[in-house]
Chain A
Amino acid sequence: QKEVEQNSGPLSVPEGAIASLNCTYSDRGSQSFFWYRQYSGKSPELIMSIYSNGDKEDGRFTAQLNKASQYVSLLIRDSQPSDSATYLCAVIAAGNKLTFGGGTRVLVKP
Chain B
Amino acid sequence: EPEVTQTPSHQVTQMGQEVILRCVPISNHLYFYWYRQILGQKVEFLVSFYNNEISEKSEIFDDQFSVERPDGSNFTLKIRSTKLEDSAMYFCASIPGQGVYGYTFGSGTRLTVV
A interface vs B, CB < 8 Å?
A: 32, 34, 41-46, 49, 88, 90, 92, 95-103
Contact = CB atoms under 8 A, between A and B. Distances in A.
Interface residues of B, number: 24
Nearest to B110: A41
Interface stretch (B13-21, B38-46, B70-78, B80-88): B38-46
B48 A97 contact: yes
A34 B101 CA distance: 9
Contact of A44 (B44, B105, B110): B105
A98 B46 CA distance: 10
Contacts, number: 50
Nearest to B41: A102
A100 B37 CA distance: 10
A97 B45 contact: yes
Contacts of A41: 89, 110
B72 to A, nearest CB: 21
